[in-house]
């Protein structure tokens, strides 16, 4: 498990990249902000502020192996606390730094909010504050002292509005909106406020500072820019560089790529066949090696029998993992990064996969028509063999386990492979055959010791 501190616009991208790299991820944010990582089954969430002791406790409880700190560039206290917790717990700490916002030659640079407030209100012109709701008081105090109008653009949430009220701002001084904001939106707001001074932080390209500065230039408005509070030369400015560094820190720890159906959960289509009484749907890749042909047949049978996506989901919601599967995964994760590679479909799995604990999953997509019936299949991850090859290209040692004909390419590409409860036709394929999770665990732990 990787602990990712987020809250900025890059959080989703980094979480997605970590999951796609075969890492299970726990995203921690100060507030319950929405994140569009719903298609990533290996991304879990928590929210709420933590001190060093709480972070260390979380590291121990979740068996965290590394911290990725992608919090806001100005979250100095969190950066220091997270780094100290990583050091205390003996795990690697990686910082993601946004690239700086660009050319600041037009700006008046200051070192903090107190200096920014004094400078901004010294010109006697209306001030537009775009630094959020955490440090409103110095600006509110200067506005009251000088009589110069102040407007604050903050997030449209309860915490931000409460901070505005606590600073004494009136409703007409508050612009509650959620970015990112375009150049034209920034220009429009500056004109609306008749602002002569814009206050911003060097929050990086992704923070929209370049659009603010350009808008101020066009509207003949001064910019007071708060410099970043710290220099962090070890920070990574790209997601690829961050992932490469994380991979190097985890060298020697293998990835275990597992098929899903008949290895961790029952065969989904067999269950559907039983519940819908359409026996023709019970055919699986144990009997039909050509998965594309198998799915074409299933799509036609479903339409002929009125079996829509909604019907399938209702069946799958009632399914449970195979006995012992969740415990096996929890134990196996001590030795390897768990990755699930399945020919099943994202649209099926939202109710089933969380019962296994939440691990990175590579799966396909269904094309569903407006009538709720299937129209086709999108093979979206390069096949099971592609998952193994992708991990190996990144320097990972890969073990794999599957049960069917369509798992053979994956097993052939792995460094070490097992057949788990296979069909009779695969017994002579040359791969070791295991019947129990305990046997698979013993093989994995034995390899680690070697």
Catalytic residues: 259, 261
290-325: b or e for each residue (b if 16 or more CB lie within 10 Å)?
A: ebeebbeebbebbeeeebbbebbeebbeebebbeeb
Helix (H) or strand (E) holding 326, with range, is helix 325-332
Residue 281 vs residues 179, 269, 307, 404: alpha-carbon distances, Å = 48, 6, 11, 17
Structure tokens at 102: 């660009």
Neighbours of 64 (CB within 10 A): 20
Question: How far is residue 381's CA from residue 368's CA, in Å, rounded to a whole number?
Answer: 19
Q: How many CA atoms lie within 13 A of 102 on its CB side?
A: 12
Do residues 101 and 209 touch, judged by C-beta distance below 8 A?
yes
Of 387, 364, 200, whose CA–CA distance to 298 is shortest?
364
Residue 51's Cβ-count burial label (10 Å; 0-12, 13-18, 19+) is exposed
Helix (H, G, I), strand (E, B) or coil at 376: strand
344 contact partners, CB below 8 Å, separation of at least 6: 260, 261, 268, 363, 364
Going across the sheet that includes 416-420, the strands are: 374-378, 361-368, 337-345, 255-258, 398-402, 416-420, 433-434
| Cβ proximity of 71 and 5 under 8 Å | yes
Residue 362 Cα distances to 40, 243, 365, 443, angstroms: 9, 18, 10, 24
Torsion of CA 83, 88, 93, 99, to 10 degrees: 10
Phi, psi dihedrals of residue 84, rounded to the nearest 5°: -65, -40
Query: In the structure encoding, which two tokens stand for residue 95, read together?
Result: 């910082």
């Amino acid at each position: 498990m990787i602990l990712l501190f987020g809250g900025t616009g890059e959080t989703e991208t980094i979480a997605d990249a970590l999951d796609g790299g075969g890492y299970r991820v726990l995203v921690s944010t100060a507030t319950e902000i929405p994140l569009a990582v719903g298609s990533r089954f290996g991304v879990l969430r928590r929210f709420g502020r933590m001190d060093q002791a709480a972070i260390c406790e979380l590291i121990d409880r979740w068996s965290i192996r590394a911290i990725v700190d992608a919090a806001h560039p100005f979250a100095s206290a969190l950066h220091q606390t997270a780094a100290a917790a990583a050091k205390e717990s003996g795990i690697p700490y990686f910082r993601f730094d946004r690239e700086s916002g660009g050319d600041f030659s037009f700006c008046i640079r200051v070192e903090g909010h107190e200096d920014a407030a004094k400078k901004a209100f010294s010109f006697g012109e209306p001030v537009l504050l775009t630094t959020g709701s955490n440090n409103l008081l110095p600006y509110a105090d200067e506005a009251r002292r000088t009589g110069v109008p102040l407007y604050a653009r903050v997030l449209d949430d309860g915490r931000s509005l409460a901070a505005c009220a606590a600073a004494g701002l009136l409703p007409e001084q508050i612009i509650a909106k959620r970015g990112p904001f375009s150049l034209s939106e920034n220009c429009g707001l500056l004109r609306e406020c008749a602002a002569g001074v814009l206050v911003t932080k060097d929050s990086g390209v992704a923070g929209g500072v370049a659009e603010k500065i350009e808008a101020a230039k066009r509207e003949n408005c001064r910019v007071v820019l708060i410099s970043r509070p710290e220099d962090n030369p070890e920070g990574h400015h790209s997601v690829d560089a961050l992932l490469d560094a994380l991979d190097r820190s985890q060298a020697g720890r293998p990835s275990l790529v597992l098929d899903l159906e008949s290895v961790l959960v029952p065969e989904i289509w067999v269950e559907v066949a039983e519940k819908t009484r359409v026996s023709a749907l019970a055919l699986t890749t144990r009997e039909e090696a050509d998965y594309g042909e198998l799915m074409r047949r299933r799509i036609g049978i479903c339409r002929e029998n009125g079996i829509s996506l909604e019907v399938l989901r209702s069946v799958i919601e009632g399914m449970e993992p195979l006995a012992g599967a969740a415990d096996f995964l929890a134990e196996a994760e001590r030795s390897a990064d768990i990755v699930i590679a399945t020919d099943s479909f994202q649209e099926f799995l939202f109710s089933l996969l969380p019962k296994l604990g939440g691990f990175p999953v590579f799966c396909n997509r269904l094309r569903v028509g407006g009538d709720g019936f299937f129209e086709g299949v999108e093979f979206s991850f390069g096949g099971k063999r592609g998952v193994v090859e992708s991990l190996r290209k990144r320097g990972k040692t890969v073990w794999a386990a599957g049960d069917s004909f369509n798992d053979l390419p994956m097993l052939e590409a792995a460094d070490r492979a097992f057949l788990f409860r296979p069909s009779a036709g695969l017994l002579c394929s040359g791969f070791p055959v295991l019947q129990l999770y305990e046997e698979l665990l013993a093989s994995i732990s034995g390899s680690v010791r070697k």
